[in-house]
Amino acid sequence: MSSLDGLRTRYYARRGVAQRIADNSSVALRLRYVGTGSVTSVTVTTATDITMVTTDGGTDAYTWANYTTVGALAAKINSDGIFQAIVLDALLPDATGASKIVDGAISAGADENGVVCWDMKVSTEGSDTVTLSLSPFRSFDPVYKGQGHKVALKGINYNVIIGTPAATSVAVYHRKGSVEALVWGALGVSTTDTAILFANGQGKLDSQDAGSLIVRISGGALTAAAANYLQIVGEIE
């Protein structure tokens, strides 16, 4: 159990977070190279696989047929030890199949800690979802690693073309390790700029220690559009 001083320190060190994405921007897997050479390319062929070409590992192709879910794909990549993968804006059982993932070469970028990484992104129309996670672990080598930290979701804003709005078209899932569960849901509204504030912005939805909250918009066939977006506001404590 955390000490009182530890809890106070964590509380006073909390920081506000606001994240916003458009279509085709949910990061299913964030990858970093942990091999001994260099990376030549990381490429998604939407019908078949994701392929990494490196100077030490040669060509490593992970087919959707063999790794049908995001969780299984991440586990296999991690076990091979050439890249490290973390699941971000996706649920572990999400399908990797044809058209679910954004096609083409993935350019190297950097996470919040400056670590070079490659983001495998989700197709909005292929998956019929827009998803964004509030997590202490969006970056590699997090300052929160090994400590009792949690997140708090305070608000959701979205504008998405939802084909068939349903009772949980706006959903929040909790993830801790490999365990995920739906913790909140609401009827979605299509093509309308919508704000959801917990207790008028004074309330919040907390994760467990070392947990993440994943916000998802879904419902029938989603249609990509320039005005589509999902924004979440919260705190990391």
Find the mean pLDDT for residues 208-212: 92
Q: Where are the domains of the chain?
A: 1-23+125-237, 27-121
How far apart are the two ends of the chain, measured CA to CA in Å? 16
Q: What is the pLDDT of residues 169-187, one digit of tens each?
A: 999 999 999 999 999 999 9
Cβ atoms < 10 Å from Cβ of 225: 14
CA dist., res. 136 & res. 138, Å (int): 6
CA dist., res. 125 & res. 150, Å (int): 31
CB 190 within 8 A of CB 161: yes
Look at residues 131, 36, 30, 26 and name the one whose alpha carbon lies nearest to residue 87: 30
% the chain with pLDDT above 70? 90
Q: What is the pLDDT of residues 67-103, one digit of tens each?
A: 999 999 999 999 999 999 999 999 999 999 989 999 9
pTM comes to 0.92
CA dist., res. 68 & res. 91, Å (int): 13
Q: Which CATH number fits domain 1-23+125-237: 2.60.120, 3.90.320, 1.20.950, 2.102.10?
A: 2.60.120
